[in-house]
């Protein structure tokens, strides 16, 4: 019976994005009453008290802000906050990346079923390295070219969701960590899924950088070219992180390594090390990952740990502490590293050969 409290949160998350509640509140000027919201969403008037109960949960969960009634929500005024702002569709803003598909992926039937199978997975004596609960249950790994054999719609949603999550806050990272990119003449950006949005932001801020985006072959086939200051400033190439990486002064991995085991991370980083020059010549790795550490208090730390559970249930990877990263960097042959800045749940790390 323990997993049941999860279900209201799953349904609440799906309701808010599938009904486009954040977009409706935005279109109503950023604040609205429940009757106005029912009208804007074209819902039957009889659903008003039920929507009020959902909104009460979403406010309590920190998805929306609210002024007014603590009862059934009929008199309350609902407002967007920074979290629900990311679920507003059609916004043109540097730091806005629409997160609908990331939410839909995390509450999909396949994710939930994998989570509910966790106890059975723990009891099984599986061969090393063990498959994730998702792979063990469904027969294919997530975020993989074979995922579409399970469900093509799930595969599309996951690809869109991971890409949106990858591109989130790239503008903030560039502003807050400009020294990381300043002075670079070439950069290989290894992402695996639709890295052109981040590449465009980097090249726009640092037009002297020649950027190569290393993607999976099927991503390159569907990637839309980006508008950048010069025609040859960015190029998309196919590749495999485990075999060859285009050489550059710096190689950047943004939210990639958390999908992989420690052993696979070492293999990937060894290939990255081959692609960059010595530290004296300006060679370095730029790694952006969630950094497990309670530096922003218990709420953010809980969010980081929940992301680690998401990795454990659905992939063979994990989120890591500074000590975890230090051990991986050392095994991959790097001499030193520095956490440049912590931005929200993520850390921006420079690693030196």
The residues spanned by each domain of the chain are 6-91, 105-163, 169-352
- Token pair of 161, please? 């969701």
Q: Is the pLDDT of residue 221 over 90?
A: no
Report the alpha-carbon distance of residue 160 to residue 180 in Å, rounded.
Answer: 27
Q: Which of 89-103, 254-268, 289-303 has maximum average pLDDT?
A: 254-268
Question: Which tens digits make up the pLDDT trace of 223-241?
Answer: 444 444 444 567 888 878 8
Instruction: Tell me the average pLDDT across 273-298.
Output: 93
CATH class of the domain comprising 6-91: mainly alpha
Looking at residue 195, what is its pLDDT? 57
pLDDT tens for 47-104 read 999 999 999 999 998 899 998 655 554 478 999 998 898 899 887 766 677 888 888 8
Distance of CA 100 to the CA centre of its chain: 12
Q: Just give the CATH number of 169-352.
A: 3.40.50.150
Catalytic residue among 110, 138, 165, 258: 258
Provide the whole-model pTM: 0.83
More confident: 73 or 283: 283
Residue burial 144-176, b: 16+ Cβ < 10 Å; e: rest: beebbebbeebbebbbbbbbbbbbbbbbebbee
Residue 326: CA count within 13 A, CB half-sphere: 5
Q: How confident is the model over 14-49, as pLDDT tens digits?
A: 677 788 999 999 999 999 999 999 999 999 999 999
Whole-angstrom distance, CA of residue 318 vs CA of residue 328? 13
- pLDDT for the residue 103: 86
* Gap between the Cα atoms of 297 and 211, Å rounded: 36
**Both tokens of residue 193?**
């899924």
Q: What is the mean pLDDT of residues 302-328?
A: 94
Q: What is the pLDDT of residue 14?
A: 62
SS3 breakdown of the chain: % helix, strand, coil, rounded to 5? 50, 15, 35
Strands of the chain (E only): list them: 31-33, 64-67, 77-80, 186-190, 210-215, 234-238, 250-254, 284-290, 336-343, 346-352
Q: Is the pLDDT of residue 220 over 60?
A: no
Close Cβ partners of 309 (under 8 Å, ≥ 6 residues apart): none
Distance CA 142, CA 155 (A): 8
* Catalytic residue flag (residue 258): yes
């Amino acid at each position: 019976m323990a997993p049941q409290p999860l279900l209201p949160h799953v349904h609440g998350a799906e309701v808010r994005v599938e009904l486009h509640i954040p977009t409706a509140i935005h279109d109503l000027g950023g604040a609205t009453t429940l009757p106005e919201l029912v009208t804007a969403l074209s819902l039957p008037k009889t659903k008003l008290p039920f929507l009020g109960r959902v909104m009460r949960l979403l406010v309590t969960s920190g998805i929306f802000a609210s002024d007014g009634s603590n009862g059934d929500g009929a008199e309350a005024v609902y407002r967007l906050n920074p979290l629900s702002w990311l679920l507003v569709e059609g916004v043109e803003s540097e730091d806005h990346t629409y997160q609908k598909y990331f939410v839909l992926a995390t509450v999909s039937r396949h994710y939930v079923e994998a989570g509910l199978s966790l106890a059975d997975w723990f009891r099984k004596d599986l061969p090393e390295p063990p498959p994730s609960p998702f792979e063990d249950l469904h027969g294919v790994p997530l975020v993989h070219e074979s995922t579409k054999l399970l469900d093509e719609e799930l595969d599309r949603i996951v690809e869109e969701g991971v890409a949106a999550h990858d591109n989130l806050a790239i503008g903030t990272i560039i502003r807050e960590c400009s020294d990381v990119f300043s002075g670079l003449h070439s950069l290989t950006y290894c992402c695996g899924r639709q890295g052109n949005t981040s590449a465009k932001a980097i090249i726009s801020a640092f037009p002297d950088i020649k950027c190569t985006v290393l993607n999976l072959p099927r991503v390159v086939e569907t990637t839309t070219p980006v508008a950048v200051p010069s025609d040859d400033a960015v190029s998309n190439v196919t590749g495999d992180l485990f075999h060859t990486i285009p050489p550059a002064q710096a190689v950047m991995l943004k939210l990639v390594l958390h999908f992989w085991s420690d052993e696979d991370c070492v293999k990937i980083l060894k290939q990255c090390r081959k692609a960059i020059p010595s530290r004296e010549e300006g060679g370095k790795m730029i790694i952006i990952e969630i950094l497990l550490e309670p530096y922003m208090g218990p709420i953010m730390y809980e969010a980081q740990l929940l992301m680690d559970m998401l990795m454990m249930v659905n992939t063979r990877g994990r989120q890591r502490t500074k000590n975890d990263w230090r051990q991986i960097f050392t095994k991959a042959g790097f001499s030193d590293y520095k956490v440049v800045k912590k931005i929200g749940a993520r850390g921006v790390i420079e690693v030196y050969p």
